[in-house]
């Protein structure tokens, strides 16, 4: 009776509830700014107007004058549109500095990209925007690093304005520019009926081109760009690492909770999803496609998303709409199913200790008798992998999972989901990275901050249970009323990020040593705890070797 249930289960694991696009407070620059007028007089500018001219906030960029506001948390904040896109065409870099979506209100934050379950007033198709956060202390000569943040949301939801993503504190703590970037989502970003592939990934390339040109005017260095992202945002970074043409645009990467069990879509799987989408929308001509309403696109997208594992099991049961190994832009799977390329960029890979707990306990509200465990596994892994999984020592009932004398198999399922989707697949990636020339640092959050929505699973509110997304507000320092353990971890992580942004190494004097991963021992440190995370099923002889990840299994 349970055998069909794991299909929806891991589906929801990665979904970010879209945060209400609550504006972050800020000051509007006065419409008539005497300093601005003065600074336009050449002689005055030279003596009185530092940092690119105009006033404390405005910057003379190669795209024109950037104007911003002082964010509530103290950094300067600049919302900006970085690219223009026609529907299902590659985006093009802007040639002028403009606020997002034709806005003339510099205090306003960008609208999201079209997505389900929010009012249509919260999004616009003209959504290729970013928000720059710049410490007030930067000067034109600062040569500061840039941290580019890519949000998560299974490639169907999320935005630069989601809860916790105000980059003001992170920018100041790391003395860097933080750019929080939007990219096209869902069918609009990944299922172009005309055959264009990876449009959303190429949107991010334009964002990086924009940053390269604009950063110097804010005191940022175009050659010190680090990509950081969580969940699908980290998957997006893995796609960019697989695209040689994007390589020169960034020098290091931070992958938080990337569900690496899923490789890039293979072309045949992408075609299966695309054909279904075309069938549902019923459009063959470009004019018909351009005339489709957003709501009909989102409806067809939902059907494709929900039916993806039955269209092609290789699509997987979470984030089936994702970057595709198209062979021209993304040229390597970047996983151990085939030759791993040589790499050199420093890499930081983290997961949280209870990645799958939200998904498991959200779907299964009541305890699951142990005898159903094999059937539930088989629905996700098939018989062969299930036999190996259930006979291994790693997923036996633990004493802690016995309630009133009965085993509750949800505890085993949560560990299993965490292992194969995130933790072990991340370790496998780190080992391959090191083996092929790069430095990698691996960590696991054992302290977090409950992300909005996760409290629907009460277990996720326990201080020792760190659910998917609970690392986000730690990294950004946007936890409200942090505990002392949270404050300490925020300080630690931001210091480590600062070091990593500057020199590709998260070690800082005064903090515990973070040993780089080796090909045999990834040294995953416990962020918020002490020592290293237990290896368990992430032993190199188990996941990825005795039992295949999906990216191996379906090839």
What's the half-sphere exposure (Cβ side, CA atoms, 13 Å) at 398?
11
- Which CB atom, from 23 or from 64, has the smaller least distance to ligand NAG? 23
Q: Which positions ≥6 away from 160 have C-beta within 8 Å?
A: 109, 110, 112, 129, 130, 131, 151, 180, 181, 182
Minimum CB separation from ligand NAG for residue 118, in Å?
Answer: 12
Minimum CB separation from ligand NAG for residue 120, in Å?
Answer: 7
Do residues 192 and 184 lie in contact, with contact meaning Cβ atoms separated by under 8 Å? no
Could you tell me where the beta strands, DSSP code E, fall in 366-509? 402-403, 406-407, 440-445
- Which CB atom, from 112 or from 228, has the smaller least distance to ligand NAG? 112
- Which CB atom, from 119 or from 510, has the smaller least distance to ligand NAG? 119
Give whole-number Cα distances, 79 to 76, 97, 116, 225, 300, in Å: 10, 10, 24, 19, 31
Coil, strand, or helix at residue 60?
A: strand
Catalytic residue among 231, 257, 353, 401: 231
Give me the helix-helix angle, 373-391 and 410-417, nearest 10°.
60
CA neighbor of 265 nearest in space, from 212, 189, 213: 189
Nearest residue relative to ligand NAG (C-beta): 102
Q: Which stretch binds ligand NAG (CB under 6 A): 6-14, 68-76, 99-107, 137-145?
A: 99-107
- Which CB atom, from 126 or from 521, has the smaller least distance to ligand NAG? 126
- Which CB atom, from 124 or from 463, has the smaller least distance to ligand NAG? 124
Minimum CB separation from ligand NAG for residue 103, in Å?
Answer: 8
Residues 258 and 398: their CA atoms lie apart, in Å, by 27
Pattern 188-227, ligand NAG, x by CB under 6 A: ----------------------------------------
Q: Interface with ligand NAG includes 101 (CB under 6 A)?
A: yes
Q: Interface with ligand NAG includes 247 (CB under 6 A)?
A: no
- Which CB atom, from 23 or from 512, has the smaller least distance to ligand NAG? 23
Residues 318 and 8: their CA atoms lie apart, in Å, by 9
Give me the helix-helix angle, 232-241 and 199-214, nearest 10°.
80
Element (H, E) at 527: strand 525-527
Minimum CB separation from ligand NAG for residue 189, in Å?
Answer: 16
Residues 342 and 433: their CA atoms lie apart, in Å, by 8
Residues 252 and 219: their CA atoms lie apart, in Å, by 19
Minimum CB separation from ligand NAG for residue 312, in Å?
Answer: 33
- Catalytic status, residue 231: yes
Instruction: For the segment 13-52, give every residue that binds ligand NAG (CB under 6 A).
Output: 23
Do residues 243 and 329 lie in contact, with contact meaning Cβ atoms separated by under 8 Å? yes
Minimum CB separation from ligand NAG for residue 203, in Å?
Answer: 16
How many residues sit close enough to ligand NAG to count as binding (CB under 6 A)? 8
Q: Which stretch binds ligand NAG (CB under 6 A): 63-71, 97-105, 129-137, 211-219?
A: 97-105
- Which CB atom, from 125 or from 532, has the smaller least distance to ligand NAG? 125
Q: Which positions ≥6 away from 364 have C-beta within 8 Å?
A: 5, 9, 410, 413
Give me the helix-helix angle, 294-311 and 267-281, nearest 10°.
140
Pairing of strands 402-403, 406-407: antiparallel
CA neighbor of 200 nearest in space, from 189, 210, 211: 189
Minimum CB separation from ligand NAG for residue 379, in Å?
Answer: 40
- Which CB atom, from 86 or from 398, has the smaller least distance to ligand NAG? 86
- Which CB atom, from 78 or from 250, has the smaller least distance to ligand NAG? 78
Instruction: For the segment 126-165, give every residue that binds ligand NAG (CB under 6 A).
Output: 126
Q: Interface with ligand NAG includes 286 (CB under 6 A)?
A: no
Minimum CB separation from ligand NAG for residue 114, in Å?
Answer: 8
The binder of ligand NAG chosen from 42, 102, 393, 510 (CB under 6 A): 102
Instruction: For the segment 103-122, give every residue that binds ligand NAG (CB under 6 A).
Output: 105, 107-108
Q: What's CA 488's distance to the chain center, in Å? A: 24
Coil, strand, or helix at residue 253?
A: strand
- Dihedral sign for Cα 55, 56, 62, 63, please: negative
Minimum CB separation from ligand NAG for residue 313, in Å?
Answer: 36
Task: Indicate which residues carry an active-site annotation.
Answer: 231
Q: Using CB under 6 A as the criterion, which residues of the chain lie in contact with ligand NAG when the complex forms?
A: 23, 101-102, 105, 107-108, 124, 126
């Amino acid at each position: 009776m349970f055998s069909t249930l794991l299909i929806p289960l891991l589906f929801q694991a990665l979904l970010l509830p879209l945060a209400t696009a609550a504006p972050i407070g800020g000051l509007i620059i006065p419409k008539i700014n005497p300093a601005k007028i003065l600074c336009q007089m050449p002689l005055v500018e030279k003596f009185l107007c530092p940092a690119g001219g105009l006033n404390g906030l405005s910057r003379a960029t190669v795209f024109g004058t950037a104007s911003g506001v002082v964010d509530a948390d103290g950094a300067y904040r600049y919302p900006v549109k970085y690219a223009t896109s026609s529907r299902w065409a590659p985006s093009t870099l802007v040639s002028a500095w403009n606020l997002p979506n034709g806005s003339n209100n510099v205090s306003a934050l960008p609208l999201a990209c079209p997505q389900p379950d929010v009012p249509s007033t919260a999004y616009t198709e003209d959504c290729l925007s970013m928000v720059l956060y710049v410490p007030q202390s930067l000067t034109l000569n600062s040569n500061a690093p840039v941290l580019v943040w890519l949000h998560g949301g299974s490639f169907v939801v999320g935005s630069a304005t989601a809860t916790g993503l105000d980059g003001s504190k992170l920018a100041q703590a790391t003395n860097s520019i933080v750019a929080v970037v939007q990219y096209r989502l869902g069918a609009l970003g990944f299922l172009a009926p005309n055959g264009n592939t990876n449009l959303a990934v190429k949107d991010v390339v334009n964002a990086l081109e924009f940053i390269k040109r604009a950063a110097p005017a804010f005191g940022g260095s175009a050659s010190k760009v680090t990509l950081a992202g969580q969940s699908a945002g980290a998957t997006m970074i893995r796609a960019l690492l697989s695209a040689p043409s994007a390589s020169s645009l960034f020098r290091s990467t931070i992958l938080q909770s990337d569900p690496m069990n899923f490789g890039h879509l293979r072309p045949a799987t992408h075609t299966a999803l695309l054909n279904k989408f075309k069938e549902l929308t019923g459009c063959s001509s470009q004019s018909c496609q351009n005339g489709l309403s957003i709501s009909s696109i989102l409806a067809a997208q939902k059907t494709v998303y929900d039916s993806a594992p039955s269209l092609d099991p290789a699509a997987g049961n979470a984030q089936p709409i994702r970057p595709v190994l198209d062979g021209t832009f993304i040229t390597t799977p970047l996983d151990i199913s085939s030759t791993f390329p040589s790499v050199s960029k420093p890499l930081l890979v983290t997961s949280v200790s209870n990645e799958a707990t939200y998904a498991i306990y959200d779907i299964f509200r009541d305890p699951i008798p142990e005898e159903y465990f094999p059937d539930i596994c088989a629905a996700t892994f098939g018989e062969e992998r299930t036999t190996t999984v259930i006979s291994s020592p790693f997923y036996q009932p633990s004493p802690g999972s016995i309630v009133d004398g009965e085993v509750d198999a949800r505890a085993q399922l949560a560990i299993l989901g965490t292992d194969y989707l995130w933790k072990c697949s991340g370790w496998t990636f780190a080992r391959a990275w090191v083996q092929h020339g790069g430095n990698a640092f691996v960590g696991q959050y054992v302290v977090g901050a409950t992300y909005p929505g996760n409290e629907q699973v009460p277990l996720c509110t326990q201080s020792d249970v760190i659910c998917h997304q609970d690392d986000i507000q730690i990294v950004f320092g946007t936890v409200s009323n942090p505990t002392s353990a949270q404050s300490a971890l925020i300080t630690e992580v931001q210091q480590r990020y600062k070091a990593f942004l500057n020199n590709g190494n998260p070690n800082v004097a005064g903090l515990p040593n973070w040993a780089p991963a080796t090909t045999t021992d990834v040294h995953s440190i416990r962020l918020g705890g002490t020592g290293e995370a237990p290896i368990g099923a992430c032993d190199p002889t188990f996941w990825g070797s005795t039992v295949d990840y999906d990216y191996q299994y379906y090839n």
